[in-house]
């Protein structure tokens, strides 16, 4: 078939179309370049603003004053004392002690005071990484973060409900500690099965954790998430009836193994101490004590009774309803005794706790 030559009008239309497409391409390229330059400038400005902000850190404060936010910044390593002995307490509301305004009553703060009294000539730093409402996956992330701090001891203070709950994507959990999962210096210590199980694979979450714009977005609370706040608030205490019986399950076994493997990868030289605590108000009935005392045997079974893990259950002598206050008194006694094994130190702290208990009872 013989093609007819294009008419002059057809050639002109074709040339006009080519010119228009070229102009459109240039406009698109110009717009794209403008967007790229805009975001680069915005990233630079956001970085300047972000780096000018002062964030609390776990070396200078007794607990994270921003509660469930700011965990990347709070656990960020500042210039540390290379000669200091360092203990990291990883816990939930038991360690946070939101019920009291006095941060020095948290058992991380009490433990630091006690150890510095007992270990004359040495400087001991106890970092309180307790997330109010935190769950086991968040504790695994904190264990991975410990690599940047070179701890001598990691103390996990927890109870069974933190481990037996259904597995969720890491973005589901209450705090913004999930941002730690996307930091390369933290993620490298996480077991691959943990990464897969908790779906740590969102590109947008990676950008939010690793760009200045993302960090400022989190700082400015965009979007604002429920009770997350940068301003301290007093909690409303609600006692809920006990629901489904709490029992050790496969989720708990997997998460405890994840926690242990993460500690060993991130801080291989650190001693790991696991403490089982009562579960808020419901921890004082017979079922509560049963749950408390079954946690450690299950933990030992899950970890194969590892030689480098020390563990025990805590049963406070007090039966007062505010368990967080009770554990703030008794946990340092047991932890310090386990670490040092000094009967003299143990007896001295017994006297201290009697005095502290009297003070607290007058305040309650």
Q: How much is the pLDDT for 347?
A: 40
Q: % helix / strand / coil in the chain, to the nearest 5? A: 55, 10, 35
Q: What DSSP character marks residue 199? A: T
CA distance 8 to 14: 10
Q: What is the mean pLDDT of residues 319-339?
A: 43
Q: What's the whole-model pTM score?
A: 0.78
Backbone region of residue 221 per phi and psi (left: phi > 0; alpha: psi in -120 to 50; beta: other values) = left
Residue 11, pLDDT above cutoff 60? yes
Which pLDDT does position 206 carry in this prediction? 93
Query: What's the whole-number average pLDDT of the chain?
Result: 76
Whole-number pLDDT of residue 363? 34
In this predicted structure, what is the pLDDT of residue 144? 97
Q: What is the per-residue pLDDT for 84?
A: 82
pLDDT at 307: 58
**Number of C-beta neighbours around residue 147 at 10 A:** 20
pLDDT tier at 111, thresholds 50, 70, 90: confident
User: What tens digit of pLDDT does each residue of 59-77 get?
Assistant: 999 999 888 889 999 999 8
Q: What DSSP letter does each residue of 285-345 carry, written as one string?
A: SHHHHHHHHHHHHHHHHHTTS-TTEEEEE---S---S-HHHHHHHHHHHHHHHHHH--HHH
Q: Contact, 139 vs 158, CB < 8 A?
A: yes
* Omega cis (within 30) before 330: no
- For residue range 205-248, list pLDDT tens digits in order: 999 999 999 999 888 876 555 554 545 444 444 444 555 667 89
Please give the pLDDT value at position 285.
Answer: 63
Q: Is the pLDDT of residue 200 over 60?
A: yes
- Rounded to whole angstroms, the maximal C-alpha distance in the chain is 109
Residues 6+ apart with CB under 8 A from 73: 55, 56, 57
Give the residue with greater pLDDT, 262 vs 232: 262
* Res 269 pLDDT > 80: yes
Which residues lie closer than 8 Å to 350 by C-beta, 6 or more apart? 333
The share of the chain scoring above pLDDT 90, in percent, equals: 30
How large is the average pLDDT for residues 50-65?
Answer: 90
Residue 197 has pLDDT above 90, yes or no: yes
Report pLDDT digits (tens) over 31-45.
Answer: 777 787 878 898 889
State residue 324's pLDDT score. 41
Cα separation, 6 vs 50, in Å, equals 62
How does strand 153-158 pair with strand 309-313? unpaired
Per residue in 93-108, pLDDT (tens digit) is: 878 877 667 777 787 8
* Cα–Cα distance, 12 to 19 (Å, whole number): 11
Helix (H) or strand (E) holding 126: strand 124-130
Answer with the residue of higher pLDDT: 183 or 83.
183
Radius of gyration of the chain (CA): 27
Confidence of residue 343 (pLDDT cuts 50, 70, 90): very low
Is the confidence at residue 283, as pLDDT, over 90? Answer: no
Q: What is the mean pLDDT of residues 163-168?
A: 90
Give mean pLDDT, residues 141-162.
Answer: 91
Is residue 184 pLDDT above 90, yes or no? yes
């Amino acid at each position: 078939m013989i093609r007819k030559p294009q008419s002059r009008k057809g050639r002109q239309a074709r040339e006009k179309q080519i010119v228009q497409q070229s102009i459109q391409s240039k406009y698109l390229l110009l717009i794209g370049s403008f967007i790229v330059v805009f975001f680069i400038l915005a990233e630079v400005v956001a970085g300047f603003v972000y780096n000018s902000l002062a964030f609390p850190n776990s070396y200078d404060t007794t607990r994270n004053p921003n509660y469930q936010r700011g965990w990347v910044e709070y656990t960020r390593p500042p210039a540390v004392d290379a000669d200091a002995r360092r203990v990291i307490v990883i816990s939930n509301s038991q360690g946070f002690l939101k019920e009291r305004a006095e941060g020095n009553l948290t058992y991380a703060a009490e433990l630091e005071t006690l150890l510095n009294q007992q270990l004359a000539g040495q400087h001991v730093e106890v970092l309180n990484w307790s997330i109010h409402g935190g769950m086991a996956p968040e504790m695994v992330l904190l264990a991975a973060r410990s690599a940047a701090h070179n701890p001598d001891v990691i103390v996990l203070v927890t109870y069974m409900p933190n481990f037996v709950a259904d597995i969720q994507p890491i973005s589901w959990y209450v705090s913004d500690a999930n941002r730690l999962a996307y930091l390369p210096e933290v993620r490298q210590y996480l077991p691959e099965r943990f990464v897969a199980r908790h779906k740590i694979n969102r590109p947008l979450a990676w950008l939010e954790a690793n760009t200045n714009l993302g960090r400022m977005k989190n700082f400015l609370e965009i979007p604002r998430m429920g009770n997350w706040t940068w301003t301290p608030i007093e909690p409303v205490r609600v006692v809920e009836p006990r629901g489904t019986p709490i029992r050790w399950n496969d989720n708990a076994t997997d998460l405890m193994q994840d926690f242990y493997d993460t500690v060993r990868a991130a801080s291989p030289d650190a001693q790991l101490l696991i403490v089982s605590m009562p579960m808020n108000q419901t921890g004082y009935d017979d079922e509560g004590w049963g749950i408390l005392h079954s946690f450690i045997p299950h933990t030992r079974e899950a970890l194969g009774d590892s030689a480098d893990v020390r563990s025990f259950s805590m049963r406070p002598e007090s039966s007062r309803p505010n368990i967080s206050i009770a554990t703030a008194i008794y946990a340092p006694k047991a932890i310090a005794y386990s670490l040092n094994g000094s009967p003299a130190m143990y007896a001295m702290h017994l006297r201290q706790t009697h005095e502290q208990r009297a003070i607290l009872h007058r305040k309650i």
